Amino acid sequence: MSSNRSSTKILGFINEDTSSWAVAALVFSAGTVLTALLALANVEGYQRQLRQRFDLLAAERVSRIQDRLEGQLRRLDSLRRFFVYSDDVSEQEYNGFARPLLTFTQAYSWAPKVLDNDREAFEKSARDAGVRNYSIRELDGVSSLAVANRRPVYYPVRFSQSRSTLELPLGFDVNSERVRQETLERAIWTGEMAASPHMNLVGLETENSKGILLVAPVQSRPHPETSSLGALQGFLVAVISLHKMMTEGLPLSAEDNLNLTLEDITGAPESDVLYQSAANAAASDLSITKTLNFAGRIYQLKVRPTSVFIGANPSSNDSLVILGALLSFMLSALLYVLISQRQRALRMVEQSTMQLRQREQQLRTAHSQLRNVLDAATQVAIIATDMNGLITTFNIGAEKMLGYDSSDICGVRTLCELHLPSELAAHVNELSQRYDRVVDTVEVMLIEAVQEHGHQANDWTLVRHDGSHLQVNMQVSPVLDEHDQWIGYLAVCLDITERKRVEEELRTMSVTDALTGVYNRRYFQERLQAEVFRVEQYGGMFSVVMLDIDHFKAINDQLGHAVGDHVLQAICERLCHRLRRSDVFCRLGGEEFMVLCPDTDSDQAYGLAVELWSALRTQPVDGVGRVTASFGIASWREGEGADALLLRADSGVYAAKMAGRDRIQPESS
């Protein structure tokens, strides 16, 4: 006994005679040093992770603000082109076009050019058109308006479409105040849109009264034989509340992760703060600064984290230190107990031997109970195989699910024989390529249990006894013996037929219009972007055909929305029969539809539009009569984006409407 004790070493290197206190102290000291090193590395990793998360959030917010500024330019430009290409715009037409554009914009106004000699006639024409007490006015103080003094030229607000509930500032002369006048002069000089400095806005609530003006000069349509611009007709003005634009649709200040500061640095080194987030910036070195160019102004957007962001990304360093100290203490205590209780452990060996014998008996009992559990699991198919895939266990759930009797399966058939052959062959090819070796058919359903340590579950199609197919989710795990050696595999299968059916229904609902059954706007946008990418990468062509049902509002108003829905359904059913398999037909919304035509040039798209137009007008809709539509066509041009293409198609529809409806507007060269 003494000889054995002198030669035995704990853990292979600690002598039993060594002081347990000395070993515990040494281990605790080593653990403390290791914990300090890990804590230092964790601090560096935390800072990198915090920077990555902040950069991701900040880049997304900067991109969103930049998109909103660019959207202001696009919408005002579309309104300007509406004026340029219209002979005369009435107030009703203006309101109808400008109202849908009020996105992150407080108001759109039309300020025509009026000479002093024409002032009285202009004011009278406005009053005759229904604007009571209309006169050209200017600011009298901070926000009140008074009759304007005489000056050579006025740019009074004639039409205005606003999100504000306050009285519209009709008649306000944009040329009556110095800052606004300088902005107009800059737009005239450059011939392009111009943004004003930060100013007090007219006709808006107090919380939205600080902002900028974006003005676009409107020239008369140039003569076809000359390239020079026409005479200045006036200005279109977008009234932008920076507070509204920077906060609308974004998290509340108490919940926002980011602090934003927008400054106008056009007149650097002096700068003007245009917007400052209500949420205070946290004390941190994290920040991103982005310079934005907006209609002749230079803005600087600075993004910093708030306390909400810091709180949502806490450091785990304190926990690591505590855990390291705790583990060090526990390990030292463990070694102390191990050494000091060596003799007790020797006595426990004998007790453990007796317990193992009892455990062996318990395992025999458990095996019998497990057999009963397998038979009781009637909703789950449990199939066990040997190393060659030959089935050795086939529970009652498997019998009910697949229609086989266990006596006809066990020891006779392999698991892969129950599988759909075509799906099995495809998976064999996939796994052979993945593991760069030939995968045998027998092991195709079992190899992933080895590679993924038994945690990989896959969807398979099994063949029932009657030949029908069953979709299951199968998880294959290795079966180990007492020496941890593989002796077979255990497959647990769940019937997922109903789940697959629901998933397919949900996928269909996500890409189709609920009323008409044709594709929806979301699916069309995805296909359009894919088609633009295809032709940019590999060449080719495609076109879009846009149609808008004529007088559809009158149908809804006079006959009711149920009849309007019936008209939309009948039109979709009729047009679908005239489309090719490759065409993508979708409903953009309301009475507006779009056809995406891959590998189709302008002439072919026009021919398709003629067929659709003819199909609509030649056959009346039950209960309504003949229903017509206005068509616009646009073919992709090299370097053109999706938005520009759709805008040209929309312009074609608008031109067809203006020309009398029930017609096709050919694509302009």
- Residues 89-112 as b/e (b if ≥16 CB within 10 A, e otherwise) read bebeebeebbeebeebbbbbbbbb
**Helix (H, G, I), strand (E, B), or coil: what is residue 353?**
helix
Distance CA 324, CA 318 (A): 10
Q: Are strands 199-200 and 232-241 parallel, antiparallel or unpaired?
A: unpaired
**Helix (H, G, I), strand (E, B), or coil: what is residue 102?**
coil
443 as an active site residue: the answer is: no
**Both tokens of residue 530?**
């894919």
Q: Please return the burial class of 514, using the count of CB atoms within 10 Å of its CB with bins 0-12, 13-18 and 19+.
A: exposed
Distance CA 408, CA 30 (A): 63
What are residue 561's phi and psi, to 5 degrees? -70, -30
Beta bridge partners of 290: 301
Distance CA 463, CA 444 (A): 17
End-to-end CA distance of the chain: 105
Residue 589 CB-half CA count within 13 A = 3
- Residue count (the chain): 669
Distance CA 49, CA 8 (A): 48
Contact of 547 with 630, CB cutoff 8 Å: yes
**Helix (H, G, I), strand (E, B), or coil: what is residue 409?**
helix
Whether omega before 197 lies within 30 degrees of 0, making that bond cis, reads no
Q: How many Cβ atoms are within 10 Å of 64's Cβ, its own excluded?
A: 12
Residue 282 CB-half CA count within 13 A = 16
**Both tokens of residue 355?**
């317990």
Q: How many Cβ atoms are within 10 Å of 200's Cβ, its own excluded?
A: 13
**Sign of the alpha-carbon torsion through 263, 268, 269, 271:** negative
Catalytic residue, candidates 138, 263, 591, 667: 591
Residue with tokens 């039409």: 159
Distance CA 32, CA 322 (A): 10
Q: Please return the burial class of 218, using the count of CB atoms within 10 Å of its CB with bins 0-12, 13-18 and 19+.
A: buried
**Sign of the alpha-carbon torsion through 30, 33, 39, 45:** negative
Distance CA 56, CA 577 (A): 47
Distance CA 97, CA 109 (A): 12
Q: How many Cβ atoms are within 10 Å of 586's Cβ, its own excluded?
A: 25
Distance CA 199, CA 297 (A): 14
* Secondary structure, 3-state, 528-558: HHHHHHHHHHHCCCEEEEEEEECCHHHHHHH
> Catalytic residue positions?
591
